[in-house]
Amino acid sequence: MPVCRKSPQIRATIVAPQIFIYGDQNYSNLFGKTCTLTPPAIRYNKILNKWQFSNDGTNYYIFGSGTPGTSGSGDNSTKAVEILNSIVDAEINHILPGSLTYTLASGSKLDVFMNGQILVHDQLTRFCDYMEVNNSTIKFHRALPIGTALTYIIK
């Protein structure tokens, strides 16, 4: 098994197919694909006590740092995260958090993730996970329990 050496400060390096893991006193890092100087990465920042991600290996962003009107990933998308503190019943209108809005059928796209899994909105002839009711409301086709993490991204 090959080993990817980075610097003398590395405590442990493990190489699996296309995955590199190492840590030092400030960060625990998980890199993908290559052993280049700046690969995409996920890391735990021990100073901030937060998980971070980087698409370019240089700029790191805190997971869930995006709020309506800003992006947590360095692109032009808008992101909001909601942890349900009550049950969301099936077929009941659910308003997007933080006054988040998007424009139906005009090119701005709403992606909804439930506990990290992307959901599919209804198509013209297909019943899927949720229905887009208007520019700030959706309707889930099944009940969602307390504690469910919903992430909304508008591109």
| Residuewise pLDDT in 10s, the chain (155 residues) | 445 544 444 444 445 556 666 677 777 776 665 556 677 778 787 888 888 777 777 777 777 654 333 444 455 678 888 999 999 999 999 999 888 888 776 556 888 999 888 888 887 777 889 988 998 999 999 999 999 999 988 88
- Rg over alpha carbons for the chain, rounded to the nearest Å, is 19
> How far, in Å, CA of 52 to CA of 41, rounded?
8
Same structural domain, 95 and 31: no
Same structural domain, 131 and 95: yes
Same structural domain, 140 and 108: yes
> How far, in Å, CA of 151 to CA of 106, rounded?
21
pTM for the model stands at 0.52
Domain tally for the chain? Answer: 2
Domain that includes residue 58, residue range: 13-62
CB 66 within 8 A of CB 78: yes
Is 58 a domain residue? yes
Same structural domain, 41 and 88: no
Same structural domain, 82 and 128: yes
Is 46 a domain residue? yes
Predicted pLDDT of residue 123: 76
